[in-house]
Amino acid sequence: MDTLHADLLVIGFGKGGKTLAAAMGRAGKRVVMVEQSALLYGGTCINIACVPTKALIHRASQRPDDVEPRAWYEAAVASTDAMTAKMRDKNFRMLDTLDTVTVVTGTASFLDEKRIEVAAGEDRLEITAEAIVINTGAEPLVPDIPGLRESACLITNTDLVRSPIMPRRVAVIGGGYQGLEFAALLSRYGIPVTVFESSERILRREDDDVARAAEAILREEGIQFVTGARVTEVVDGDGVATVTYRTHEGDQGTIEAEAVLVGTGRSPRTAELRLEAAGVRTDDQGAIQVDTYLRTSRPHIFAVGDVNGGPQFTYVSLDDYRIVADQIMDTGTGKRTTADRIAVPYTLFMTPPLGRVGMTEKEARSAGRSVRVAAKNVTELMAMPRASIVGDTRGMMKFVVDAETDEILGAALLSIDSQELINTVALAMRTGMTASQLRDAIWTHPSSTEAFNEVLANVVR
C-alpha cells in the first residue's frame, strides 16, 4: 500500500476545510485533501446546495413569456450545471496548483487516530498526519416513512439541481426552512407543490405573525399546505406516487405526485469514516462532538462544518476555519472559539426572502426579557420606495428590542433585499448599536435599508 505523510490532512472539500488547506499550503506546510467525489470539489454549497438552488430561483424570474416553462426549466438546470462545473474546476485548481498540497479522490476511513486509508476502486492509500480535519458535511435526512426510501419518485436536493426533467407535481415533506425553499423554487417554474408539515403551522421556530406573512406569500405563489398532518405512506404507481397522510384529528387523505421531495433537514455524514477506530466520539444524531475550539475527543483531530452538529451554513464553516487555523497555524494565538460568535444571521430564500437574526419575540419573552416590538408591513413603508420600484411590496419587517436597554435582540425581515439587510442588522448587534441608533442612521435613497428609519420609529409594545 502506498503511503503519504502530511502536516495537515483534510477529509472533505467543504468551505472550512478547503480554506484551511489553501492557507496551510501557502504557508509551506504539507497538506493532503481527500474528497470522495470529483463532483464535489469545492464542497456541498457550490455543487448541490446554496449556489445552484439560488441560481435556479433567479433564473425562474427571467423566463420570457413566450418560452414554455418546461423548456426554461431544462435550460436553467443546464446553465446552472455549467456554472457549478466552472466553480468546481476553480476550487480544484486553487489547491492542485499549490506544490505543497495533494488532492486525493476516494473514500477515507480511519485505521487509528493517526492513520487513515483512502479507497478508490481497488486502489488503497495510507495517509498519516500531525493534524486531521474532518469536513465531510451532511446528507439529506430521509424520514422513516413506509415506502418512501424505496420510491422511484423520491428526490433530494442533489437530484433536484441536477435533473433537467421538470416534475408535473411535487409533494414536499417538511414545512421548515429547507422544505419551503425547495417549494418556493419549484413553484416559480409553475410546478404545483403541496407541502406537508406535522406541526400546526409552517416555520414553527418563527413568531406567529412572521410565519403567517410567509405562508400568505407562498400561498399566493400557488403552494398548497397540509399542516398538522403526518405522511404515513408512499406507494408508487405508474410514473407517480400516492402520498397518504393523516391529520392530528385522525382524518386521512391522499395526493398523487411525480416527485416526493424530502425537506426535513440534513444529518452529519460520518458513516464511512470508521470514527470508532480513531476514538472520535459522536452524539446521538451522529454529529462529531467538539469543544469550543472544534477539537474532537482526540486533540489533534478537528471537525468543521455541518459534520460537527453546529449551524449548517457555509459562512459558519468559514468561521470554523478561522478557529482551527488559529489553533494550528504558526501565526495563530489559540484564543479564537465558537463562543466568539454573536448574532449569526440566516436567510430563507423564498421570494421575497426571509432574513433572520437573534431572538424571536417569543424567545425573548420566554427568556424573561422586557420587550418592545417594532413591526410594519412593507406595503405600508413610505420610507422604502425601492419595494415599489422593483414591483414587490409583499412581506413585513419586525424588530425585537430590549425595553430597558434599547438593545436589538433580534429581527425578522421578510422583504426584497432582506438577504443583504439582515447582515446590516447583525453587524449592528455585534457592535452594540442600539435600536435608536440604527433608527437614526443615514442610509442612501432609494434603498431598502432606509426602511429601518421608519420601522424602528414604530416601537410600540
Q: Annotated active-site positions, please?
A: 445
For residue 279, give the 3-state DSSP assignment. Answer: coil
Judged on CB neighbours under 10 Å (0-12, 13-18, 19+), 132 is buried
- Residue 424 CA to its chain's centroid (Å): 20
Cell reading at 35: 474528497
Longest CA–CA separation in the chain, Å: 70
Beta strands in 157-309 (DSSP E): 170-173, 193-197, 224-227, 229-236, 241-247, 252-257, 259-262, 266-268, 301-303
Give the residue ranges of DSSP H helices in 221-348: 275-278, 314-328
Q: Which residues pair with 188 in a beta bridge?
A: none
Q: Which residues contact 53 (CB under 8 A, 6 or more apart)?
A: 157, 160, 161, 181, 182, 185, 349
Q: Which helix (H) or strand (E) holds 55?
A: helix 50-60
Task: Give the contacts of 141 (CB within 8 A, at least 6 positions apart).
Answer: 262, 264, 265, 266, 267
Summary count for the chain: helices (H), strands (E): 14, 22
Q: Name residues whose C-beta falls within 8 Å of residue 428's C-beta, 6 or more positions apart in sequence.
A: 408, 437, 438
CA atoms of 413 and 298, how far apart (whole Å): 41
Q: Which three cell numbers stand for residue 406?
A: 434599547
